[in-house]
Chains A and B, each alone.
Chain A
Amino acid sequence: MRIRIPLAAAAAGLTLAVTATACGGSDSSDTPSAATGIAGPGTGTGKTITVWYMEGDLTDDTVTGINTAFEKATGAKVKVEIQQWDGINTKLSTTLAQDNPPDVIDMGNSNVPLFAASGGLVDITAYKQELSAGQTWLDGLAGPATIGGKLYGAPLFAGNRAVVYNKKIWSAAGVTAPPKSYEEFTAALDKIKAKNKAPDFSAFYLPAKDWHQPLQFLWDAGGQIATQSDGKWAGALESPEAIKGLQDFKDFQNAYSVPASQDTDNLTPNSAALFASGKAASILTTSVGPILKANPALKDELGTFPLPGKSGKAQPVFLGGSDLVIPAKSKNLGLALAYLKAAASPEVQKQFVVGVDGWTPVSTELIDQTAGSISPLQQGFAQAAKISMSTPAAPGWSTIEGDKSLSQFFADIATGRKTPRDAAEDFDAHLDRVLNAAP
Chain B
Amino acid sequence: MKNKTTRRAALNTVAIAFCALWLFPVYWMVNTAFKPYGDILTTTPRFLPFPLSLDNFRSAIGKPLFGTYLWNSLIVTGVAVVVSLLIAVLAATAVTRFRFAGRRAVLIGILVVQMIPGPALLIPLFLSLKSLGMLNTLVGLCLTYVGFVLPFAIWTLRGFMVGIPVELEEAAMVDGASRATVIRRILLPLITPGIIATSVFAFITAWNDYVYAYVLMKDQSKYTLPVWLGTFSTSTGTDYGGLIAGSALFSAPVIIFFMIIQRRLVAGMTAGAVKG
Is there direct touching of A and B in the complex, by C-beta distance under 8 Å? yes
List residues of A whose CB falls within 8 A of some B CB.
54-57, 81-82, 84-87, 90-91, 94-95, 97-98, 100-101, 199-200, 266-274, 277, 289-290
Min distance, Cβ A62 to any Cβ of chain B, angstroms:
15
Query: Contacts of B135 on A, CB cut-off 8 Å?
Result: 98
- Contact (Cβ within 8 A) A268 B220: no
Query: Contacts of B130 on A, CB cut-off 8 Å?
Result: 97-98
Cα A371 to Cα B43 in complex, Å, equals: 42
- Contact (Cβ within 8 A) B236 A270: yes
Partner of A84, one of B43, B231, B240: B231
Cα A277 to Cα B135 in complex, Å, equals: 45
- Contact (Cβ within 8 A) A98 B238: no
Q: Mark contacts of B158-198 with chain A using CB atoms, 8 A cut-off: 1 yes-contact digit, 0 otherwise.
A: 00000000000000000000000000000000000000000
- Further contacts, 8 of them, CB under 8 A, given A81-B220, A85-B234, A269-B237: A55-B231, A56-B236, A90-B215, A91-B215, A98-B130, A200-B43, A267-B235, A267-B236
Query: Contacts of B233 on A, CB cut-off 8 Å?
Result: 84, 86, 267-268
Cα A156 to Cα B25 in complex, Å, equals: 43
In the complex, the number of residue pairs spanning A and B with C-beta atoms less than 8 Å apart equals 66
Cα A400 to Cα B214 in complex, Å, equals: 22
Cα A210 to Cα B220 in complex, Å, equals: 28
Partner of A55, one of B41, B126, B218, B235: B235
Chain B contributes a number of interface residues (CB within 8 A of A) equal to: 21
Is B136 an interface residue, CB under 8 A from the partner? yes
Q: Mark contacts of B81-108 with chain A using CB atoms, 8 A cut-off: 1 yes-contact digit, 0 otherwise.
A: 0000000000000000000000000000
Partner of A56, one of B218, B219, B234: B234
Cα A271 to Cα B233 in complex, Å, equals: 13
- Contact (Cβ within 8 A) B126 A272: no
A-B contact pairs, 11 of them (CB 8 A): A55-B231, A55-B234, A56-B235, A82-B220, A84-B230, A90-B214, A94-B123, A269-B237, A270-B237, A273-B41, A290-B237
Quick one: closest A residue to B215, CB to CB?
Answer: A94
Q: Mark contacts of B231-262 with chain A using CB atoms, 8 A cut-off: 1 yes-contact digit, 0 otherwise.
A: 10111111010000000000000000000000
- Contact (Cβ within 8 A) B237 A273: yes
Cα A273 to Cα B60 in complex, Å, equals: 18
Partner of B237, one of A57, A90, A200, A271: A271
Quick one: closest B residue to A293, CB to CB?
Answer: B236
Query: Contacts of B126 on A, CB cut-off 8 Å?
Result: 94, 97
Cα A273 to Cα B214 in complex, Å, equals: 28
Query: Which residues 28-70 of B have a CB within 8 angstroms of A?
Result: 41, 43
Cα A84 to Cα B230 in complex, Å, equals: 8
Quick one: closest A residue to B135, CB to CB?
Answer: A98
Cα A54 to Cα B235 in complex, Å, equals: 9
Cα A95 to Cα B235 in complex, Å, equals: 21
- Contact (Cβ within 8 A) A270 B238: yes
Cα A408 to Cα B220 in complex, Å, equals: 32
Query: Contacts of A266 on B, CB cut-off 8 Å?
Result: 237
Cα A290 to Cα B239 in complex, Å, equals: 12
Most chain A CB within a 10 A radius of its CB, from B215, B218, B240 = B218
Quick one: closest A residue to B127, CB to CB?
Answer: A97
Most chain B CB within a 10 A radius of its CB, from A81, A94, A98, A271 = A94
Query: Contacts of B123 on A, CB cut-off 8 Å?
Result: 94
Query: Contacts of B235 on A, CB cut-off 8 Å?
Result: 54-57, 85, 267
- Contact (Cβ within 8 A) A267 B219: no
Cα A274 to Cα B237 in complex, Å, equals: 10
Cα A100 to Cα B218 in complex, Å, equals: 9
Min distance, Cβ B11 to any Cβ of chain A, angstroms:
40
Cα A273 to Cα B41 in complex, Å, equals: 9
Query: Contacts of A271 on B, CB cut-off 8 Å?
Result: 237
Cα A289 to Cα B234 in complex, Å, equals: 14
Query: Considering the complex of A and B, which 6 residue pairs feature the smallest CB-CB distances, nearest first?
Result: A270-B237, A56-B235, A290-B236, A81-B220, A268-B238, A267-B237
- Contact (Cβ within 8 A) A272 B237: yes
Query: Contacts of A267 on B, CB cut-off 8 Å?
Result: 233-238
Most chain A CB within a 10 A radius of its CB, from B41, B126, B214, B219 = B41
Query: Contacts of B218 on A, CB cut-off 8 Å?
Result: 95, 98, 100-101
Query: Contacts of A86 on B, CB cut-off 8 Å?
Result: 230, 233
Cα A101 to Cα B219 in complex, Å, equals: 10
Query: Contacts of B234 on A, CB cut-off 8 Å?
Result: 55-56, 84-85, 267
